[in-house]
Amino acid sequence: MSTVASPDLLTGQRGWWHRTRDGLFRVAIMGSVVLGLVVLVALIAQSLVKGWPRLGLDLLTHFPSSFPDRAGIQSAIFGTLWLVAIVFVTAIPIGVGAAIYLEEYADTNTWYNRLIDVVIQNLAAVPSIVYGILGLAFLSRGFLHLGPVVLTGGLTLSLLVLPVVIIASREAIRAVPSSILDGALALGATQWQAVSRQVLPAAIPGIATGAILAVSRAIGEAAPLLLLGALQFITFNPTGLDSSFTALPIQIFNWISRPQEGFHIAAAAAIIVLLGITLLMNGVAIWLRKRFQQQW
Amino acid sequence: MVVTTGIVVALLVPSIEFFQAVSPVEFLTGTLWSPLFKNAHFGVLPLLSGTLVVTLIAAVVCLPLGLCAAINLSEYATARTRAVIKPILEVLAGIPTVVYGFFALTFVTPLLQRNWPFDTPPQVFNALSAGLVMGFMILPTVASISEDAMYAVPQSLRAGAAALGATRFEISTRVVVPAALSGIIAAFVLGISRAIGETMIVLIAAGGTPNLTLNPAESMQTMTAFIGAAGLGDQPTGSIGYKTIFAVGLTLFAMTLVMNIISIRLVRRYREIYD
């Protein structure tokens, strides 16, 4: 929005105070962006510097140990992979399905569809630990009584990212102009044919972006898993859905909360791995959105 | 829909059982929180004050910075700078919160302890470093949403002000910001609601002692940190300790829900104006 008809030229006619104030303001707002970026760079740099010496094949292949030098994250990585797989097969189909229904089939004038709309927006902003409570009450203990196993963790994370998937998919579907749908319908396609063969393919990049962001959020989430009881000394990879598990952020939290410096270094090294995964996924998602952004 | 009902039921049922054992008056006005000890006290105020202090610090960091960054991106930055900074902000918004917690504990706290201008330096676990780091955690969200609101202000308003001889500072602060105000407030409310609900940073960096104080250099426990810590202790189902998780969770859920509803309303309102 910097294309306003050169207000800087006009500043010249308004005296020194206006020019100075403009300059000071420019410094302040530039400073705010720089400060934000500096802190975030410091955050990444600190983990890199601290964890670099421990980053290696050892870290990736060893299991957690009570000796900081020998501790590794193999079981945490496999636990995270299991969780991601569960989120992928549950949250994404359900989320995309719900988005298709809400955008293409639901009558937005009825009160219950409007209510669903508001509820989904609210759910997206519910603190993650509240989802942990939900998982604890219904999945881990309560009704299903699954215990603190990998299925409970995966389903809880699915519930957590579901609103994100729905909102992103709805936006992607909404961005496809209705003329495409109308054109298909006019040629005799049924509603489902028009949606599945015309609208959905056009919305795939947007949906994929949302899905990747959702999975990346699930990978980094620790609080709900903590509440489910995932903080255990696990020296084996999950063998099935009913296996107990640990996950990357949980393992990091475990090491941070120990007093020995050696564990803090191991935590920093594990953070590099976690940051690498999540930042890479977010980067890919944003690149994907840019690359396939279509102008209709 | 099912999920919301689930959350409400999941929180309500054990909470009701909790309030049968502990009077709501004691819960809301008590100043001592020690539910897991033998001589149990159930005053939620220390947890509330902890949440309040940490959130306030985060707000003080993030509101001015977020607003300035948004003005910069929307009004001052060239299209090219914007195309670089905006994706960076979005990528950074995806940093896991354990990482921020680690940063607060091992970088910000020692930094504060070394450069503390007053008498007693901050404790190893303190609300200040947790709050500061949390402010930077919500910065990308706040900046990004406020920027969207400012970007949506019609170009004709800016051009009109410029034609009347306004400087770019005047255009930004007296035309664009007021026009986008509801969107900006919505961004702030959403950011603060995220700060209230954030768990890992406070669990790692703010400590685990419920503490009714406003001194940010001391250790304090927030509502989320209590839930997290109680969850670690593996409370037996049905015990009073297990039920406190739900009572505190309900309080937390109610607080964030109200803030989110306000935020969503505001976003709606500002959308209606310029669509």
The residues, ordered by sequence, that sit 6+ positions from B117 with a Cβ below 8 Å of its Cβ are none
Question: Taking CB atoms and an 8 Å limit, are B264 and A118 in contact across chains?
Answer: yes
**Ramachandran angles phi, psi of A56, nearest 5°:** 180, -175
- Span A203-248, pLDDT tens digits: 888 888 888 888 888 888 888 888 876 666 666 677 666 677 778 8
Question: Taking CB atoms and an 8 Å limit, are B199 and A11 in contact across chains?
Answer: no
Length of chain A: 296
Q: Is B76 touching A (CB cutoff 8 A)? A: yes
Residue B274 pLDDT exceeds 60: no
Distance CA B214, CA B225 (A): 17
Question: Taking CB atoms and an 8 Å limit, are B200 and A4 in contact across chains?
Answer: no
Distance CA A108, CA A5 (A): 41
Q: What is the mean pLDDT of residues A21-27?
A: 84
Q: What is the mean pLDDT of residues A22-31?
A: 84
For the record, the structure tokens of B262 come out as 């306000």
Mean pLDDT is lowest, of A58-67, A70-79, B246-255, for: A58-67
- Asked if residues A285 and A198 have their Cβ atoms less than 8 Å apart, the reply is no
Distances (CA, A) of B223 to A95, B36, B133, B139, B227: 30, 15, 18, 22, 6
Whole-prediction pTM value?
A: 0.82
Which CATH code fits B44-239+255-274?
Answer: 1.10.3720.10
For the record, the structure tokens of B158 come out as 């800016």
- Span B65-120, pLDDT tens digits: 889 888 888 888 888 888 888 888 877 788 888 888 888 888 888 888 777 777 67
Domain layout of chain A by residue ranges: 7-54, 58-292
Which CATH code fits A58-292?
Answer: 1.10.3720.10
Nearest to A56 by CA among A213, A265, A222: A265
- Span B19-45, pLDDT tens digits: 666 666 666 666 566 665 555 666 677
Q: Is B158 touching A (CB cutoff 8 A)? A: yes
For the record, the structure tokens of B84 come out as 């670089």
For the record, the structure tokens of A105 come out as 């089939």
Nearest to B9 by CA among A146, A133, A144, A117: A133
Residue ranges with strand state E in chain B: none
Question: Closest-CA residue in chain B for A156?
Answer: B3
* Averaged pLDDT of chain A: 80
* Averaged pLDDT of chain B: 78
Distance from CA of A188 to the nearest CA of B (A): 33
The residues, ordered by sequence, that sit 6+ positions from A206 with a Cβ below 8 Å of its Cβ are A168, A169, A171, A172, A173, A175, A289
pLDDT at A230 (0 to 100)? 63
Distance CA A195, CA B227 (A): 44
pLDDT at A3 (0 to 100)? 47
Angle A200-220/A74-100 helices, nearest 10 degrees? 140
- Please give the full DSSP string across chain A, using - where no structure is assigned: -TTSS-HHHHHGGG-HHHHHHHHHHHHHHHHHHHHHHHHHHHHHHHHHHHHGGG-SHHHHHSPP-SSTTT---HHHHHHHHHHHHHHHHHHHHHHHHHHHIIIIIS-TTSHHHHHHHHHHHHHTTS-HHHHHHHIIIIIISTTT---SBHHHHHHHHHHHHHHHHHHHHHHHHHTS-HHHHHHHHHTT--HHHHIIIIIHHHHHHHHHHHHHHHHHHHHH--HHHHHHT--S---S---STTSB---HHHHHHHHHTSS-HHHHHHHHHHHHHHHHHHHHHHHHHHHHHHHH----
- Asked if residues B144 and B186 have their Cβ atoms less than 8 Å apart, the reply is no
ipTM summary value:
0.81
- Span A105-162, pLDDT tens digits: 877 777 777 777 777 877 777 888 888 887 777 777 666 666 677 788 888 888 889 8
Block residue for tokens 């955050």: A43
- Span A144-157, pLDDT tens digits: 666 677 788 888 88
- Asked if residues B138 and B62 have their Cβ atoms less than 8 Å apart, the reply is yes
pLDDT at A187 (0 to 100)? 93
Distance from CA of A229 to the nearest CA of B (A): 6
Nearest to A131 by CA among A213, A221, A219: A221
Q: Is B258 touching A (CB cutoff 8 A)? A: no
Instruction: Compute how many other C-beta atoms are within 10 angstroms of the C-beta atom of residue A261.
Output: 11
| Three-class DSSP category at B166 | coil
Residue A186 pLDDT exceeds 90: yes
Distances (CA, A) of A20 to A26, B69, B224: 10, 20, 46
Of the pLDDT bands very low, low, confident and very high (cuts 50, 70, 90), residue B206 is confident
pLDDT at A79 (0 to 100)? 84
Q: Is B200 touching A (CB cutoff 8 A)? A: yes
Q: Is B199 touching A (CB cutoff 8 A)? A: yes
Distance CA A254, CA A73 (A): 12
Distance CA A239, CA A74 (A): 13
- Asked if residues A128 and A221 have their Cβ atoms less than 8 Å apart, the reply is yes
pLDDT at B211 (0 to 100)? 67
Nearest to A289 by CA among A168, A135, A125, A130: A168
